[in-house]
Amino acid sequence: MTALEKATGDAVFKFEPFVFHVLCRELQDAQLLHSVAVDSGFRNSGITVGKGGKITMAVRSTHCLEVPLSHKGRLMVSEEYIEFLVHVANQKMEENI
């Protein structure tokens, strides 16, 4: 809160989703892993094939959070709301684990 009160610009509370990259030997391996990831709730997962044929499967969570806290140095939310955001972010981290 002290840092936020001293901020002169914009501050954002941000929680990034879980991402796990797996290099796969065969496209079929990546497709199988993709199916398992999506069936497990990681709906933003995907397969990328690079120019050199490198096959990467990315397991991605949907648990993200991005909330503006201040604008041009003016705090836009209460300390109670920030505590609530921290609680929500911690719950999302538990779900990632």
pLDDT digits (tens, 9 = 90+) for 35-65: 999 998 888 999 999 999 999 999 998 888 9
Distance (Å) of CA 68 to CA 13, 23, 60, 86: 6, 35, 23, 13
Kindly state whether residues 45 and 80 are assigned to the same domain. no
pLDDT of residue 63: 83
Query: Domain of 29?
Result: 18-61
Q: Into how many domains does the chain fold? A: 2
- The token duo for 20 is 């796990």
Kindly state whether residues 55 and 72 are assigned to the same domain. no
Tell me the whole-structure pTM to 2 decimals. Answer: 0.70
Kindly state whether residues 7 and 39 are assigned to the same domain. no
3-state secondary structure 20-85: EEEEECCHHHHHHHHHHHHHCCCCCCEEEECCCCCEEEEEECCCCEEEEEEECCEECCCHHHHHHH
pLDDT digits (tens, 9 = 90+) for 12-37: 999 998 899 999 999 999 999 999 99
Kindly state whether residues 7 and 40 are assigned to the same domain. no
Element (H, E) at 6: helix 2-6
Mean pLDDT of 69-80: 93
